[in-house]
Structure 1
Amino acid sequence: MLRRAEELHDAAVAVVAAERAALAAAGVPGELVWVGASSVPGALTRGDVDLHLRVPPEEFDAAVALVRRDHAVVHPEIWCATLATFAVDAPLPAGLAVTPLGSEHDVRFTRTWALLRADAALLVEHNRVKAEADESAPDEYEARKSAFFDRVLAADGTGDPAGDGTG
């Protein structure tokens, strides 16, 4: 069931603050940012909180090792040299992606949400894609959402940050 981001704003802010404090207490380097639909006023969300830890490339491996001590690994099948994903123990469903600054995943997680915040028409399209997939093709929800973000980044000119055709 999709909800408006505003419905969980206060609870999500608390999740972000708690995770930021936990990462700092554990000595994890980097900048924690709140991304995902719950971070964008007017966006439709499934009610989860997406967090993104942006770390200097030379600190990526150390940051992942530190996060791994206190967080369960999720989606290990998508892990790569520039992405690690974890569950966050929180009152709302929450996840944490760790990326090196400037990497393809870093750009994808930061730029797409900045574009949605800045462009009302793009946000309407995002909500339409999610609502249609949620209602008529739940098994295609993630794929349709990913394809939408691919189009957004391609149109913005940031779809291939590495310049190697992989973005």
Structure 2
Amino acid sequence: MENYLEAIFNLGKEKRVVRVKDIAKRLGVKMPTVTNMLKTLSERGLIDYEKYEYLELTEKGSGVGEEIDRRHHVLRSFLADILGIDLEKADEEACKMEHAVGAPTMDRFVLFMEFIQSCPRTGENWLERFEEFRAHGKDREKCLEHMKAFSNEFGGRIKDMETEEVSQDGT
């Protein structure tokens, strides 16, 4: 069901109107299969749909579709940008993951990705920083403070390593 809502949500952003054949093509299923699912979605108040007409998401359906789309983008970003997985494969895997992971776990994962994207360099204790971020949200000042501490902490170590490397090369 979530695949249908996500497809309708994205088709609605791409086209003026969403039709059964567009959904069937997007999901790789037959039109009667789409029609059956649209009845279910309509009964649940997620879409406005009359047979042989265009359809659109209700406010409730749009909210669900938007959330599924957000999950997909976060997962795809993690897989492609952090793990270095090919974008096409990352997209395929994200689609599977977004439906398999429970809401609390997914919410935590989404927060983790938002944290990585907004404050990526926080030193060796980044898990503690993530816990702060999760508990209190994005705090630009805290992020800057952590980055400065990271810079101070590792600036000396970098110089030591460079000095050590030069002395090893020279002997």
Q: For this structure pair, what is the TM-score category when the shorter chain's length is used for normalisation?
A: under 0.3
In terms of fraction of residues, the more strand-rich structure is 1
In terms of fraction of residues, the more helix-rich structure is 2
Provide TM-score, normalisation by structure 2.
Answer: 0.27
Q: With CA pairs under 8 Å and 6+ residues apart, which has the higher RCO, 1 or 2? A: 1
